[in-house]
Amino acid sequence: MGEVEEKRKLRLAEQVLRKREADLQLAQQIGHIGSWEVDFVSDLLLWSDETHRIFGLDPATFVPTNEAFFELIHPDDLARVQRAVAEAIRTGADYQVEHRIRRRDGTERVVVEQARILQNAQGQAARMMGTVQDITERKQTQVHIQHLNQLLVGIRNVNKLIVRERDPQRLLAEACEILVQTRGYLLVWVGRPEENSKKVLPVACAGQQVDYIKSITVTCDESPTGQGPIGTALRTASRMSARTSSTDPCFEPWRALALERGYASMASLPLLHGERLLGVINVYADHPTAFDTEVLACWTSWPETWPSLCKASRTKRSAVSLKNKSARKPGCWT
């Protein structure tokens, strides 16, 4: 009976251990937190399944090594991570370091690692145990909030500019410059339609590689050069965007020149004065999806600015009646 009881207890212990391991893996997966351990004596590195997932690797085929780990760290962050590890080994102190990783498929993630040195009886570093957490979405949210705040600051600064600046051309030029400097947009320009040709002509601009404006043809008619964000914004008096310049089909006529200059997304915002549409302000960013719903909504909270900007750009020949608005194409713009 004693042997049977021992076997029963052993099976029960094994079941409890397997359940704890399964619960730990599930908890790590939910929290996007992996664990790892390195043995300095044997140079053995162990990763949990979630650590493999964070790095975009298959635990069934990838064998972690220190060399492979360092190869996955973003080159600009590598030296900082190596210094943190070396300092922890030297002092025996815990460490925490935030850094980027570059998966083998080219995608980048942001992680934070925490580790503790375990010493042997002689006080020497024998093992290091740590965790790695994927905080990419959290960082993206922080950056997004920062960008929204910068945009609102830019809007407030333009409103202050309107109070003091009486020269229409300087007002438009400085408004473009403020948005470039405050928010960090690559290019901002104000365009107005030429009534006879339907071409959209620049009246003010600021930013990098402004030669792009002279290199492109934009219209506000039904031709292919009038189907992008700028032309559609002028025809429909609506906010338009190309959230991803590299793939948006409506941005095709300007794609190559825009990508050469790093314009990953753009938005066009109509300038209205009453029922007259007098121009459009065009904004270009260095990353895709820079103009989501929240960002575009910020521009609608700028009512006191539009009339003054519109007056500054208003001319008899540039006014376009809103009576002939055409419907936007579904699926192209926000």
* Domain residue extents for the chain: 30-134, 143-324
Taking the CB of residue 110, how many other CB atoms lie within 10 A of it?
18
Quote the CA–CA distance of 185 and 299 in Å, as a whole number: 15
Question: What CATH fold (topology level) applies to the domain 30-134?
Answer: Beta-Lactamase (3.30.450)
pLDDT digits (tens, 9 = 90+) for 79-125: 999 999 999 999 999 999 999 999 999 999 999 999 999 988 888 88
The shares of helix, strand and coil residues in the chain, as percent rounded to the nearest 5, are 45, 25, 30
Strand locations in the chain (E): 33-39, 44-47, 95-102, 108-119, 125-134, 187-193, 200-207, 240-242, 265-273, 276-285, 320-321
Classify the C-alpha dihedral 165-167-168-173 as positive or negative.
negative
Question: Which residue is listed with tokens 């260095």?
Answer: 286
Identify which of 11, 107, 119 has the alpha carbon closest to the alpha carbon of residue 55.
107
H/E stretch holding 147 reads helix 136-164
CA torsion sign for 251, 253, 255, 261 is: negative
Q: Are 30-134 and 143-324 equal in CATH topology?
A: yes
Could you count the other beta carbons within 10 Å of the beta carbon of residue 322? 15
Identify the CA nearest to 187 among candidates 129, 100, 254.
254
Task: Give the distance, in angstroms, between the CA of residue 7 and the centroid of all CA atoms in the same chain.
Answer: 57
pLDDT tens for each residue of the chain, 334 residues long: 566 566 555 665 565 556 555 544 555 555 578 999 999 888 889 999 999 999 999 999 999 998 999 999 999 999 999 999 999 999 999 999 999 999 999 999 999 999 999 988 888 889 999 999 999 999 988 988 888 888 888 888 888 887 787 788 888 899 899 999 988 899 999 999 887 888 999 999 999 888 999 999 999 999 999 999 999 999 998 889 999 999 999 999 999 999 999 999 999 988 877 777 778 999 999 988 888 888 888 776 554 455 555 555 444 334 344 444 443 332 222 2
The three-class DSSP label of residue 203 is strand
HSE-up of 314 (CA within 13 Å, CB side)? Answer: 15
Distance separating alpha carbons of residues 124 and 308, to the nearest angstrom: 71
Question: For tokens 């908890």, what's the residue?
Answer: 27
The rounded distance, in Å, linking the Cα atoms of 243 and 309 is 25
Helix (H, G, I), strand (E, B) or coil at 192: strand
Contact 165, 144 (CB under 8 A): no
State the DSSP code for 64: -
CATH of domain 143-324: 3.30.450.40
Geometric angle at alpha carbon 297, from 316 and 265, rounded to 5°: 80
Count of residues for the chain?
Answer: 334
Q: What angle do CA 56, 57, 59 make, to 5 degrees?
A: 140
Distance in angstroms (rounded) separating the CA atoms of residues 54 and 49: 9
Contact by Cβ (8 Å): 161, 169: no
End-to-end Cα distance, the chain: 74
C-alpha pair distances (Å), 291 with each of 148, 243, 269, 288: 10, 6, 11, 8
Burial grade of 154 (CB within 10 A; 0-12, 13-18, 19 or more): buried
- Contact by Cβ (8 Å): 53, 111: no
